[in-house]
A and B are shown apart, each in its own frame.
Chain A
Amino acid sequence: MDGLYPYIACLVGASALYLLLRPGPLVVKLLGTVVGFSALAWLVVICSQVVPGEIDPGHEILFLIFGAITLSSAVRMITHSRPVYSALYFVMVVLSSAGLFLLLEAEFMAFALIIVYAGAILITYMFVLMLAQQASESDHVDEVPLYDRLAREPAAAVIVGLILAGTLVSATTTGLTHLPDPVDESVMNRVHGELLEQLPRQFKNAVLATSPDATWPPTPDSSGNMIRWDAEGPFVQFGTEAVRIDPDQMPSNTQHVGWSLVASFPASLELAGVILLLAMFGAVVLARRQVEHGEDELRRDIGLDPMHPDEDGEGTSA
Chain B
Amino acid sequence: MTSAIAIRIVEMLPAVPAVPMADVVEATSHWWAGFILWCPLISLALCGLCAAFRVKSKLPAWITVLSLACSFVLTIILGNLEDVPERIQLFEWISVDWVGGSFVANFALYIDSLTILWMSFVTGLGTLIALYASEYMETDVGKGYARFFSGVSAFLFAMGCLVMGDNLLMLYLGWEGVGFASYWLIGYYYRRPAAVAAAKKAFIVNRIGDLGLALAIYLIWSTFGTVQYNELITHLDAGTFAASYEHWSVEAIPYLLMLAAFGKSAQLPLYVWLPDAMEGPTPVSALIHAATMVTAGIYLIARMYPFFLLEPTSLHVVAWVGGLTALLAATIGMAQYDIKRIFAYSTVSQLGYMFLGLGVLTTYGASYHVFTHAFFKAVLFLAAGAVMHGFAGQLDLRKLSGLRRMKGWRIVAWTMFIGCVCLAGFPFTSGYFSKDAILAEAFVTQGPGFEALGWIAIFTAFLTAYYTFRVWCRVCAGPVHFEPGDELHDDGHHDEEHEFHPHAPRFAINFVLVVIALGALLASVPYFMTNEVSEIKGGWIADMVNDSTAAAGIPGHEEHPGTIAHDAGHAHHGSILGMDPHVAMYWISGVVGGIGLFLAFWLHLWRRQDADRLRSWLLARAWIRWLPVAMENKWYVDEVYHALVRAPLWLLGHIAYGFDRYIVDGLLVDGTARLPRLIARWFQPLQNGLLQSYAVTMAGGAALITLLMVLMMQFFEGGSVQ
Q: Tell whether, in the assembled complex, residue B714 and residue A163 are in contact, meaning their CB atoms are under 8 Å apart.
A: no
Taken together as a complex, chains A and B put the C-alpha atoms of A101 and B131 apart, in Å, by: 105
| B interface SS class | helix
Taken together as a complex, chains A and B put the C-alpha atoms of A156 and B717 apart, in Å, by: 32
User: Can you list, as one digit per residue, whether each of A160-185 has a CB less than 8 Å from chain B (1) or not (0)?
Assistant: 10011011101100100010000000
User: Can you list, as one digit per residue, whether each of B692-722 has a CB less than 8 Å from chain A (1) or not (0)?
Assistant: 1100100110111011001001100100000
Q: Which of A157, A159, A167 contacts B706 (CB 8 A)?
A: A167
Q: Tell whether, in the assembled complex, residue B710 and residue A163 are in contact, meaning their CB atoms are under 8 Å apart.
A: no
Q: Which of B699, B710, B713 contacts A160 (CB 8 A)?
A: B699
Taken together as a complex, chains A and B put the C-alpha atoms of A24 and B426 apart, in Å, by: 122
Residues of B within 8 A of A164 (CB): 699, 702-703, 706
Is A139 part of the contact surface with B, judged by Cβ < 8 Å? no
User: Can you list, as one digit per residue, whether each of B370-404 has a CB less than 8 Å from chain A (1) or not (0)?
Assistant: 00000000000000000000000000000000000
Q: Tell whether, in the assembled complex, residue A160 and residue B700 are in contact, meaning their CB atoms are under 8 Å apart.
A: yes
Q: Tell whether, in the assembled complex, residue A163 and residue B707 are in contact, meaning their CB atoms are under 8 Å apart.
A: yes
Residues of B within 8 A of A163 (CB): 700, 703-704, 707
Size of B's binding interface in residues, CB under 8 A: 14
Q: Given A3-B714, A163-B707, A170-B710: A152 and B692 within 8 A (CB)?
A: yes
Taken together as a complex, chains A and B put the C-alpha atoms of A165 and B710 apart, in Å, by: 12
Is A153 part of the contact surface with B, judged by Cβ < 8 Å? yes
Residues of A within 8 A of B699 (CB): 160, 164
A157 CB → nearest B CB, Å: 6
Q: Would you list which residues of chain A between 236 and 288 have a CB under 8 Å from chain B?
A: none
Q: Tell whether, in the assembled complex, residue A174 and residue B714 are in contact, meaning their CB atoms are under 8 Å apart.
A: yes
Taken together as a complex, chains A and B put the C-alpha atoms of A178 and B716 apart, in Å, by: 14
B704 CB → nearest A CB, Å: 6
Taken together as a complex, chains A and B put the C-alpha atoms of A160 and B704 apart, in Å, by: 9
Residues of A within 8 A of B713 (CB): 171
B343 CB → nearest A CB, Å: 89
Taken together as a complex, chains A and B put the C-alpha atoms of A170 and B702 apart, in Å, by: 16
Q: Which of A3, A160, A170 contacts B696 (CB 8 A)?
A: A160
Q: Given A3-B714, A174-B714: A157 and B696 within 8 A (CB)?
A: yes
Residues of B within 8 A of A3 (CB): 714
Taken together as a complex, chains A and B put the C-alpha atoms of A160 and B717 apart, in Å, by: 26
Taken together as a complex, chains A and B put the C-alpha atoms of A129 and B706 apart, in Å, by: 35
A85 CB → nearest B CB, Å: 21
Taken together as a complex, chains A and B put the C-alpha atoms of A156 and B707 apart, in Å, by: 17
Taken together as a complex, chains A and B put the C-alpha atoms of A170 and B703 apart, in Å, by: 13
Residues of B within 8 A of A166 (CB): 707
Taken together as a complex, chains A and B put the C-alpha atoms of A3 and B717 apart, in Å, by: 13
| A interface SS class | helix
Residues of A within 8 A of B693 (CB): 153
Q: Would you list which residues of chain A between 181 and 237 have a CB under 8 Å from chain B?
A: none
Residues of B within 8 A of A171 (CB): 706, 710, 713
Residues of A within 8 A of B704 (CB): 163
Residues of B within 8 A of A153 (CB): 692-693, 696
A62 CB → nearest B CB, Å: 30
Closest chain A residue, CB of each to CB of B707? A167
Size of A's binding interface in residues, CB under 8 A: 16
Q: Tell whether, in the assembled complex, residue A167 and residue B710 are in contact, meaning their CB atoms are under 8 Å apart.
A: yes
Closest chain B residue, CB of each to CB of A168? B706
Closest chain A residue, CB of each to CB of B705? A167
B711 CB → nearest A CB, Å: 8
Residues of A within 8 A of B706 (CB): 164, 167-168, 171
Residues of B within 8 A of A168 (CB): 706
Taken together as a complex, chains A and B put the C-alpha atoms of A168 and B702 apart, in Å, by: 12
Q: Given A152-B692, A153-B696: A160 and B703 within 8 A (CB)?
A: yes
Closest chain A residue, CB of each to CB of B721? A178
Q: Tell whether, in the assembled complex, residue A156 and residue B710 are in contact, meaning their CB atoms are under 8 Å apart.
A: no
Residues of B within 8 A of A167 (CB): 703, 706-707, 710
Residues of A within 8 A of B707 (CB): 163, 166-167
Q: Would you list which residues of chain B between 678 and 701 have a CB under 8 Å from chain A?
A: 692-693, 696, 699-700
Taken together as a complex, chains A and B put the C-alpha atoms of A3 and B713 apart, in Å, by: 13
Closest chain A residue, CB of each to CB of B714? A174
Taken together as a complex, chains A and B put the C-alpha atoms of A306 and B704 apart, in Å, by: 65
Taken together as a complex, chains A and B put the C-alpha atoms of A156 and B688 apart, in Å, by: 15
Q: Given A3-B714, A167-B710: A156 and B703 within 8 A (CB)?
A: no
A259 CB → nearest B CB, Å: 35
A146 CB → nearest B CB, Å: 16
Taken together as a complex, chains A and B put the C-alpha atoms of A204 and B183 apart, in Å, by: 105
Taken together as a complex, chains A and B put the C-alpha atoms of A178 and B713 apart, in Å, by: 12
Closest chain B residue, CB of each to CB of A152? B692
Residues of A within 8 A of B700 (CB): 156, 159-160, 163
Taken together as a complex, chains A and B put the C-alpha atoms of A78 and B714 apart, in Å, by: 33
Residues of A within 8 A of B717 (CB): 178
Taken together as a complex, chains A and B put the C-alpha atoms of A3 and B699 apart, in Å, by: 23
Residues of B within 8 A of A178 (CB): 717
B699 CB → nearest A CB, Å: 5
Taken together as a complex, chains A and B put the C-alpha atoms of A160 and B703 apart, in Å, by: 7
Residues of A within 8 A of B692 (CB): 152-153
Closest chain A residue, CB of each to CB of B690? A152
- In the complex, which of the residues A167, A170, A178 has the most CB atoms of chain B within 10 Å of its own CB atom? A167
B78 CB → nearest A CB, Å: 82
User: Can you list, as one digit per residue, whether each of A67-92 has a CB less than 8 Å from chain B (1) or not (0)?
Assistant: 00000000000000000000000000
A205 CB → nearest B CB, Å: 49
Taken together as a complex, chains A and B put the C-alpha atoms of A159 and B703 apart, in Å, by: 10
Taken together as a complex, chains A and B put the C-alpha atoms of A163 and B706 apart, in Å, by: 9
Closest chain A residue, CB of each to CB of B710? A171
Taken together as a complex, chains A and B put the C-alpha atoms of A170 and B717 apart, in Å, by: 14
Taken together as a complex, chains A and B put the C-alpha atoms of A135 and B309 apart, in Å, by: 110
Q: Would you list which residues of chain B between 442 and 496 have a CB under 8 Å from chain A?
A: none
Taken together as a complex, chains A and B put the C-alpha atoms of A178 and B717 apart, in Å, by: 10
Q: Would you list which residues of chain A between 121 and 168 have a CB under 8 Å from chain B?
A: 152-153, 156-157, 159-160, 163-164, 166-168
A161 CB → nearest B CB, Å: 8
B647 CB → nearest A CB, Å: 66
Taken together as a complex, chains A and B put the C-alpha atoms of A153 and B707 apart, in Å, by: 22
Closest chain B residue, CB of each to CB of A163? B703
Taken together as a complex, chains A and B put the C-alpha atoms of A152 and B690 apart, in Å, by: 11
B706 CB → nearest A CB, Å: 5
Taken together as a complex, chains A and B put the C-alpha atoms of A153 and B714 apart, in Å, by: 32
Residues of B within 8 A of A156 (CB): 696, 700
Taken together as a complex, chains A and B put the C-alpha atoms of A88 and B264 apart, in Å, by: 98
Q: Would you list which residues of chain B between 257 and 290 have a CB under 8 Å from chain A?
A: none
Taken together as a complex, chains A and B put the C-alpha atoms of A163 and B699 apart, in Å, by: 10
Taken together as a complex, chains A and B put the C-alpha atoms of A153 and B700 apart, in Å, by: 14
A194 CB → nearest B CB, Å: 35
A316 CB → nearest B CB, Å: 33
B721 CB → nearest A CB, Å: 10
Residues of B within 8 A of A152 (CB): 692
Closest chain B residue, CB of each to CB of A174? B714
A71 CB → nearest B CB, Å: 19
A264 CB → nearest B CB, Å: 29
Residues of A within 8 A of B703 (CB): 160, 163-164, 167
Taken together as a complex, chains A and B put the C-alpha atoms of A3 and B693 apart, in Å, by: 31
User: Can you list, as one digit per residue, whether each of B414-441 has a CB less than 8 Å from chain A (1) or not (0)?
Assistant: 0000000000000000000000000000
B157 CB → nearest A CB, Å: 72
Taken together as a complex, chains A and B put the C-alpha atoms of A189 and B200 apart, in Å, by: 97
- In the complex, which of the residues B692, B693, B703, B714 has the most CB atoms of chain A within 10 Å of its own CB atom? B703
Q: 23 A-B residue contacts at CB 8 Å? A: A3-B714, A153-B692, A156-B696, A156-B700, A157-B696, A159-B700, A160-B696, A160-B699, A160-B700, A163-B703, A163-B707, A164-B699, A164-B702, A164-B703, A167-B703, A167-B707, A167-B710, A168-B706, A170-B710, A170-B714, A171-B710, A171-B713, A178-B717
Given contacts A156-B700, A166-B707, A171-B713, 19 further A-B contacts (CB under 8 A): A3-B714, A152-B692, A153-B693, A153-B696, A159-B700, A160-B699, A160-B700, A163-B700, A163-B703, A163-B707, A164-B699, A164-B702, A164-B706, A167-B703, A167-B706, A167-B707, A171-B710, A174-B714, A178-B717
Which 5 pairs of residues, A with B, have the shortest CB-CB distance? A164-B703, A163-B703, A160-B700, A167-B707, A171-B710
